[in-house]
Each structure stands twice: as structure tokens, then as C-alpha cells.
Amino acid sequence: MTKILTKHFDSEPKFHELEAYRRLGGYSALKKALGQDRKALQDEVTKSNLRGLGGAGFPTGVKWGTVPPEDKVPGPRYVVVNADESEPGCYKDRILLTRAPHQLIEGLLIAAYVIGAKDTFIFIRGEYQNQYDILEKALAEAKAAGLLGDVTIHLMRGAGAYISGLDTALLETMEGKKAWPRQPPPFPTVAGLMAKPTVVNNVETLSMLPFIINEGAEAFAKIGSPKSGGTVLFSISGSVDKPGLYEFPMGTKLRDVLAACGGPKAGRKLKGVIPGGTSMPPLMEKDLDIELDFDSVRAAGTFLGAGGMIVLDDSMDAVEIAHNIERFLTHESCGQCTPCREGSNWSERILERMLVGHGEQADIDNLARVGDNITGKVICALGDTVGMVLKGYIGRYPEDFKKRVKSS
């Protein structure tokens, strides 16, 4: 199985240190990139079919291409690393930051070179104290080794809000404001941090860059599926024998992923697989043969997200799961727009009532209706998921919901 990011994780325990990283070829891509034509590098990334692995799946090279050229919009431009990993079920960035901080720094420096950014930022989840320490140490190493050149990497820490993981909310947070998502247009690449052109990329996305530069776009694209290049990390948990971080080529069948991690657990029947973190409705038994990439998962009615895979089995109850997720979304709703702020809280309370035995058929219809009234009518993706989760679980597990209706 081809691995890109985690290739040396099992064989090199000190991969997080500069010496080991360089010994295994680290920073050769940066050396190769510096001095090359920046537009050509950007085209290379576009050709690689690298997609945003923070969850949105937007083609990275295309995103970079929307940064206005320096002769049209002079002044600083920034690269921001989104390391505010908070989606329940996701821990891939945590492991990348722990085990391969130099891989990220190298990717970031390549991106900064292509974008023309002198100031770059790593916005790291506040709770990631160990990872922050590791990253700080790695940065000092890279700086002492003269690898940063004229680029400055600023470390910034989150204050605990899930919503800050959304790019525009993250930018607001960085500016010292309440983490309320912005409504594009303008997109961050046009007016981002301090209204300057800003590329926001996920840890995993940027960590892919050294491979693409070293091995070429074609080699990267070939590993993945036709429209999603390279590999993808799955943080697997739930009803599995071997939970943990797995790297698979894009387009690996769900069936094969489950086989690798041993899910569902022995004696249990598969109920579904949350593919990308709890905000995404589950894939079902019938989806076992889909080839996991952004587009195919989307076609199956859910999202690959950030690869936070949770395997559900028949011992679990859909109403309890939906309630748990809605409780999380209610807690983390930023409160800016009404449908999400009020709708998440309302649906959580309806679900809670159903859980304690006071559900009615009208509640199920109402939840589906309210969900429908939220998704697509809110400012950001968190709001969309509030409705998506409701509709997703009611639609996939109607029996579980019917069981919660009081028989009169």
C-alpha cells in the first residue's frame, strides 16, 4: 500500500527531529522548489489533483490560482495553516504534528514560496499543547538550520472554539475577533487575514507538497483516483478491532478500509460508517464498494470531510447518536445566524425529549422539516451540518426513530 505522509512513521521513531527528517530526504523538495518558476509550481500542484484535506476537498492548485497577482494587488499575502483540528472523530493532524512537524514546515515553506508570502501562520488548536511544544521545537531547529530563509512562521493558538476550524472564522479569530464565519465573497484568497490575500490550507494538505515536488504531479495523481490525487488519512474509531490512523490511496474501497481496521467488531453487524467526522451522515452497507474519494462519497449523499471515520454497529442507536452530535453542534454553534443558533438547540432538545420517552411521530416530521430549513440557508458549513445530521439519521434509520415514539 502506497504511503506518503506516514511512510516512515513505523520505521523511524525520531521522524519529528530535523536530523532524522533530513536523513530520510526531508527538505530536498524545498531546495528543489526554491528558484523554480512559481507559476509552474502552482500548475504542478493543480495537475497533481491535490484536494483540500481539511474537509472541503477544494483543488489546492486552483485555490492558489485565485490569489491576485502581485502587480494587480501589491502588498503582503499570507499563508495560514489550519491546524485547529476539532471535528469529533478526527485526529490525523494531531498525529502529523506530533510525528512529522518538519514535513508540514517544508510544505508550508513551499506554499509560501509559490504564493509569495513572507509571513505565514500556523493556527493550532489550543488543546494541542504537546503538539505545540513539538512544533515550536521543530521550528527552532529549522530556523537554526537556516531553512526558513526570509519567511517567518508565526505560531498562534486557538482558544477552544470548534468553529475556528472553519477558514473564515479562523481568520476572524486571528484578528482578535469573535469567531464568526465570514460570508464570501470575497474569498480569503482575495481578502483574507487583515483583508490581504490569504491562502488557508490544512496541515495534511500542505504536508503532501514535499512529495508532489519531489516525485512530480503525475506520480501523485496516479496514486489516487481520477479526480482526487494521492493518499488520504483516516482517523478510525468506533466498532473496530484496530482503531488508529490509516493512510490509504484516494479511491480505496470502503470494504477494504474496514477489512484493514477490523470493523465492525466480531459479532456485530455493520450499521453504518461515518466517513469524515461526526458532522457527516454515515455511509451504509450498500456503500461498501464505493471508492472513497471526495466525489464518490458526495454522490453517496455524505462527505469525505476530514477523514474522521467512525464505524457504527447494531448495538448503537441512531437517536442517541444524532442527539450526541446535535448536542455538540449546539454547544459549538457560533450563534451568528439564526437558523443554526436556534435550530441546533431546538433539535437537540426535541431529541432529548425523545430519548427520555416523550417522543411523538410529529417530532420526527418536525426534526426533518427543521433540518431542511437549516441546511443551505445559513452562513457556514457548520450550520449546514446541523440540518444534514438530522435528515441524515432520520432518513437512514427510520426504525430507530419510530422506536422512540410513545405508543398511546
Partner 1 sequence: MNKIVKYKLNGKDVEAPEGRLVIEAAKDQGIEIPHYCYHPALGNPGNCRMCIVEVAGAPKPQVSCRTGVREGLEVKTDSDAVKRAQASALELHLVNHPLDCPVCDQSGECGLQDYYMKIGQYSSSVREDKEHKGKRIEAGPHVMLDQERCVLCTRCTRFVDNVTKTHELGIFGMGHNERVEVTPGMTLDNAYSGNVVDICPVGALTDRDFRYKVRVWYLDKTDSICPGCSRGCNISVHANTQRPWHNDGKRVARLKPRVNMDINGHWICDDGRYGFSSLDSDRLGKVLRLSPERAELSWFDAAHEVAAKLKDSSIAVVASGMLSNEDWAAYKALFVDALKVQGHYFTAEPDQLGEEDALLRRKEKVPNLKGAEALGLKSGSFDELKKNLEAGKVKTLYVIERDLTKIWGDKAAGLLAKADMTILQGPNKYALGDSFTYRLPATAYVEEEGHFTNFEGKVQAYKKALAPIGHARPDWDIFALLKKAVIQPAAKVAA
Nearer to partner 1, 198 or 333 (CB): 333
- All three cell numbers of 223, joined, read 496514486
344 binds partner 1 (CB under 8 A): yes
Helix, strand or coil, per DSSP, at residue 77: coil
Per CB under 8 A, which region of 13-21, 90-98, 298-306, 344-352 contacts partner 1? 344-352
Nearer to partner 1, 119 or 352 (CB): 352
Q: How far is the CB of 196 from partner 1 (least distance, A)?
A: 21
CA distance 199 to 203: 13
CA distance 88 to 278: 6
345 binds partner 1 (CB under 8 A): yes
Q: How far is the CB of 337 from partner 1 (least distance, A)?
A: 5
Going by DSSP bridges, is the β-strand pair 78-83/198-202 parallel, antiparallel, or unpaired?
Answer: parallel
Q: How far is the CB of 233 from partner 1 (least distance, A)?
A: 29
Q: How far is the CB of 310 from partner 1 (least distance, A)?
A: 23
Which residues on adjacent β-strands are paired with residue 119?
A: 78, 152
CA distances for 107 relative to 65, 145, 219, 401, angstroms: 17, 16, 17, 46
342 binds partner 1 (CB under 8 A): yes
Using CB under 8 A as the binding rule, the residues of this chain from 173 to 192 that contact partner 1 are: 178, 183
Whether 106 contacts 210, CB under 8 Å: yes
Q: How far is the CB of 363 from partner 1 (least distance, A)?
A: 8
Options 48, 82, 252, 336; binder of partner 1; rule CB under 8 A: 336
Residue 244 — left, alpha, or beta (φ > 0 → left; ψ -120 to 50 → alpha)?
left
CA distance 329 to 348: 9
Options 285, 362, 395, 406; binder of partner 1; rule CB under 8 A: 362
Options 349, 355, 368, 405; binder of partner 1; rule CB under 8 A: 349
Whether 318 contacts 401, CB under 8 Å: yes
378 binds partner 1 (CB under 8 A): yes
Q: How far is the CB of 374 from partner 1 (least distance, A)?
A: 8
Q: Binders of partner 1: how many residues, by CB under 8 A?
A: 33
Per CB under 8 A, which region of 165-173, 195-203, 264-272, 376-384 contacts partner 1? 376-384
Q: What is the identity of the amino acid at 82?
A: N
Composition of the chain by helix, strand, coil, percent to 5 = 45, 15, 40
Options 66, 129, 152, 338; binder of partner 1; rule CB under 8 A: 338
286: DSSP letter: G
Options 3, 9, 335, 381; binder of partner 1; rule CB under 8 A: 335
Tell me how crowded residue 97 is: count the other CB atoms within 10 A of its CB. 27
Helix, strand or coil, per DSSP, at residue 408: coil
161 binds partner 1 (CB under 8 A): yes
Q: How far is the CB of 345 from partner 1 (least distance, A)?
A: 4
Sequence-separated (6 or more) residues with CB below 8 Å from residue 182 = 168, 169, 171, 172
Going by C-alpha positions, the residue among 81, 68, 241, 103 that lies closest to residue 157 is: 81
Whether 252 contacts 325, CB under 8 Å: no
Options 119, 227, 377, 405; binder of partner 1; rule CB under 8 A: 377
Using CB under 8 A as the binding rule, the residues of this chain from 84 to 143 that contact partner 1 are: none
Nearer to partner 1, 2 or 183 (CB): 183
Going by C-alpha positions, the residue among 30, 15, 4, 7 that lies closest to residue 145 is: 30
Helix locations, 216-281, DSSP H:
217-223, 254-261
Options 215, 346, 368, 381; binder of partner 1; rule CB under 8 A: 346
Q: How far is the CB of 280 from partner 1 (least distance, A)?
A: 18
Whether 88 contacts 328, CB under 8 Å: yes
Sequence-separated (6 or more) residues with CB below 8 Å from residue 210 = 26, 27, 28, 29, 30, 103, 106, 107, 110
Options 353, 368, 381, 405; binder of partner 1; rule CB under 8 A: 353
Per CB under 8 A, which region of 2-10, 215-223, 290-298, 368-376 contacts partner 1? 368-376
Options 331, 402, 403, 406; binder of partner 1; rule CB under 8 A: 331
Q: Residues in the site for partner 1, rule: CB under 8 A?
A: 161, 178, 183, 330-339, 341-346, 349-350, 353, 362-363, 366, 369-370, 373-374, 376-379
